[in-house]
Amino acid sequence: MTILVTSATGTVGRHVVTELLKAGQSVRALTRRPETAALPAEAEVRGGDLDQPDTLRAALAGAERLYLFPVPETAAEVVALAVESGVRRIVLLSGAGADDDAFDTGYRVVEAAVQSSGVDWTCIRPGEFAANWLDWAPAIRATRTLSRPYAQAVTQPTHERDIAAVAAAALLQDGHEGRTHTFAGPEALTVAAQLDTIAKALGEPIRLDELDPAAARTQWISDGYPPEVVDWLFGLWATPASLNAEWAEVVPALTGRPALTFADWANEHVAAFR
Ligand X SMILES: NC(=O)c1ccc[n+]([C@@H]2O[C@H](COP(=O)([O-])OP(=O)(O)OC[C@H]3O[C@@H](n4cnc5c(N)ncnc54)[C@H](OP(=O)(O)O)[C@@H]3O)[C@@H](O)[C@H]2O)c1
**Could you list the residues that contact ligand X (CB under 6 A)?**
6-7, 9-13, 31-33, 37, 49-51, 69-71, 93, 95, 126, 128-129, 132
What 3-state DSSP class applies to 147?
strand
Cβ atoms < 10 Å from Cβ of 85:
18
**Distance in angstroms (rounded) separating the CA atoms of residues 267 and 174:** 34
Q: Which is nearer to ligand X, 69 or 136 (CB)?
A: 69
- Quick check: 171 and 91 in contact, CB under 8 A? yes
For residue 98, the minimal CB distance to ligand X (Å) is 9
Of the chain, the end-to-end C-alpha distance in Å amounts to 42
For residue 176, the minimal CB distance to ligand X (Å) is 18
Under DSSP, the state recorded for 244 is -
Phi and psi angles of residue 272, each rounded to the nearest 5 degrees, phi first: -65, -20
**Distance in angstroms (rounded) separating the CA atoms of residues 42 and 27:** 8
**Distance in angstroms (rounded) separating the CA atoms of residues 55 and 166:** 28
Phi and psi angles of residue 135, each rounded to the nearest 5 degrees, phi first: -60, -30
Q: Which amino acid is at 129?
A: F
Nearest CA among 33, 114, 32, 19 for reference residue 70: 114
For residue 126, the minimal CB distance to ligand X (Å) is 5
For residue 47, the minimal CB distance to ligand X (Å) is 9
Residue 159: burial class (beta carbons within 10 Å; 0-12, 13-18, 19+): buried
Q: Which is nearer to ligand X, 6 or 18 (CB)?
A: 6
- Quick check: 150 and 234 in contact, CB under 8 A? yes
**Distance in angstroms (rounded) separating the CA atoms of residues 23 and 1:** 11
Under DSSP, the state recorded for 71 is -
**Distance in angstroms (rounded) separating the CA atoms of residues 249 and 134:** 26
Closest-CB residue for ligand X? 10
